[in-house]
Amino acid sequence: MPHARRIEGRLWELRLGDNRLFYFLYRDRKFVILHGFRKQSMKTPKKEIATALRRMNELLEE
């Protein structure tokens, strides 16, 4: 069963086995998937979080 947790601000992580998807709630109650990767360590790499945050901020600046 998938699990979700808040990463930072509006950014969430969806956990599906070893796979991770970062998403956030966009305008009009739409979810946007920003980035996905296969997790290979206990901690979520900061590089992966930074990629998702950058993409989210680009969308919010439009």
DSSP string, 9-54: TTEEEEEETTEEEEEEEEGGGEEEEEEEEE--SSSPPHHHHHHHHH
pLDDT digits (tens, 9 = 90+) for 2-54: 799 999 999 999 999 999 999 999 988 899 999 999 999 999 999 999 999 99
What is the mean predicted confidence (pLDDT) over 54-61?
A: 96
CA distance 18 to 2: 11
Q: What is the pLDDT of residues 39-53, one digit of tens each?
A: 999 999 999 999 999
Edge-to-edge strand ranges of the sheet holding 3-8: 3-8, 11-16, 19-26, 30-38
